[in-house]
Structure 1
C-alpha cells in the first residue's frame, strides 16, 4: 500500500509531462507556436500570480476590494490567453492548450517558490545559532 502512495503521484506527474510535451510538439508542428516560448504563457503566468495575490488578499477582511480586483485580473488574463490560443488554432485545441499552459506554469512556479522558501528558511536557521 505504501508503494502505491509513491508510484501513483510519480505516474501522474510523468503522464502530465508526456501530455504537455505531446501537445507542445503538435502546437509547433501544426499551428506554429510554442507552449513556453509564447507570450500567452506570460499572460498565464501573470494570471496565476494575480490569482495567488487575490488568494492572499482574501484572508484580510479589509481587502475585499483588492480580492475582487485580483480575481477580475486573474480571469481577464486567463480569458485573453485562451482567446488568443483559440484564434491561432481550433477552439478545442486552444482551450486545451491554455489549460495545459496553466499546468506547465504551476509546474514552473511551484518549484521556484519552494526553492526560495527553503533557501530563506535555511538562512534563518543558520542565523539562529
Structure 2
C-alpha cells in the first residue's frame, strides 16, 4: 500500500468582526453575498480576511472598542482568527450597508457558527 503524502497545512487568515447595537438594543446585521463563503447567510459586518495582520475598517464612525480574546474557526480550506470590535450606533443611525434587527426579533441561532462565536464572546 503506498504511503499517503502529508496534508498541506491550512493557511490562517485574520480579520475583524464588528458588533453594533443602537440605543433600543437592535443589532446591525448584514446578509452576505449569495456567492462565496457563508453565501446568503446573516452575519455581522466584517473587514477583509487575509493572511497579513488585519486593518480596522468599521462600518461607521463611532467609538469602537476591541474586546479581549478572539474568535477562532476552521473552514474547509483555512483557519480564521477574528478580533471583535463593539460600538453603539449613533442616535438616528441609518445603516449604509446592512440593516438593524430589533432586539425582540434577533435570534443568535439564525447566525452561522463563526458569527455566533463572535456574539457569544461579545456578550461575555
| TM exceeding 0.5 | no
Higher strand share: 2
Structure with larger Rg: 1
Considering Cα pairs closer than 8 Å and 6+ residues apart, tell me whether 1 or 2 has the greater RCO. 2
TM-score, normalised relative to structure 2:
0.25
TM-score, normalised relative to structure 1:
0.25
